[in-house]
Amino acid sequence: MFRHVRTKPLVVLWAAMAAAWGIAVGSQGSDEPPAITANEAIRRLRDGNTRYVLGKSIHPDSGAARRRATSEHGQHPFATVLGCSDSRVPVELLFDQGIGDLFVVRVAGNVCNLDEAGSIEYGTDHLGTPLLVVLGHTQCGAVTAVATGAELHGNIAPLAGSIRPAVAKAQETHPELRGADLIPAAIEANVWQAIEDLLRRSPLVSSRVREEKLKIVGAIYDLESGRVKWLGEHPRQKSLLGDRSAPSQEGSPKKPVQPGKHPAAPQHGES
């Protein structure tokens, strides 16, 4: 056995990854059709968020039986979510989902660099989730820090570099807004930016979207109300996918900014 293992390092690596990520080797692959459609996945998330907002969460599949089942039979999540690390954005809780339901990637500012793109490919291509939600949130400290020109230290500075194009686009789209007033538009632009970065970095994800095996939608979680606002697909998705017939339009879509949601300056601990 040991000799066999040593002669097949890639198999070992794959098996180790599979074990670590809680899947059964060979049990799932990109060719298998998703168990549910993207729209059904959105409906489940919408319903779960409504329960959460109303204080009627049922915390499905969160106990020992589900733990055992997913351990023995692998994971079959129905959606991949790219969200912010902010401790006030607990993805499974706010969608009222259980163990094994969501493949979640969390990083400050819900940015999409190479590691995030790789993780998303794992969720959408290998595990075959039909839906990817890029979930921004109100009062995002990472976006706020960039929008307000806060001084950044250590490795936060390069991370903020991924957010800067979104803030610039928001400013271009809404030249009348400054400082804190710009933040809601910047948060929305940052959701679109993550989708753009993903499609640019990942031919795998792009082709799954083209083949209609994957739907990518943006959404914004309201920290105060708990409600998720659904933004739909990227307005320039077709051109981002290289469809030459699609209208080319630079910058973020012109949309009215939600009134009354102007968060304060960055506070310690926000991300």
User: Where along the sequence are the contacts to Zn ion (CB under 5 A)?
Assistant: 84, 86, 140, 271
Largest Cα separation within the chain, whole Å, is 68
Report the residue number, 191 or 198, with the smaller CB distance to Zn ion: 191
In the complex, the smallest distance separating the C-beta of residue 245 from Zn ion, rounded to whole angstroms, is 36
Asked if 152 and 160 touch (Cβ cutoff 8 Å), the reply is yes
Of the pair 193, 271, the CB lying nearest Zn ion is at 271
Q: Least distance (Å) from Zn ion to the CB of residue 187?
A: 8
CB of 161 to Zn ion, least distance (A): 16
Least distance from Zn ion to the Cβ atom of residue 150, Å: 14
**Selection from 76, 77, 79 nearest residue 133 by Cα:** 79
Q: Which amino acid would we find at residue 263?
A: P
Q: Tell me if residue 243 falls in helix, strand or coil.
A: coil
Place of tokens 């670590």: 20
**Length of the chain, please?**
271
- For Zn ion, the closer of residues 120 and 140 by Cβ is 140
Tokens 């959408």 belong to 124
**Residue number with CB closer to Zn ion (49 or 70):** 49
What is the nearest approach in angstroms of Zn ion to the Cβ of residue 140? 3
Nearer to Zn ion, 162 or 271 (CB): 271
- Residues 3 and 167: their CA atoms lie apart, in Å, by 54
Question: How many Cβ atoms from other residues are within 10 Å of residue 264's Cβ?
Answer: 11
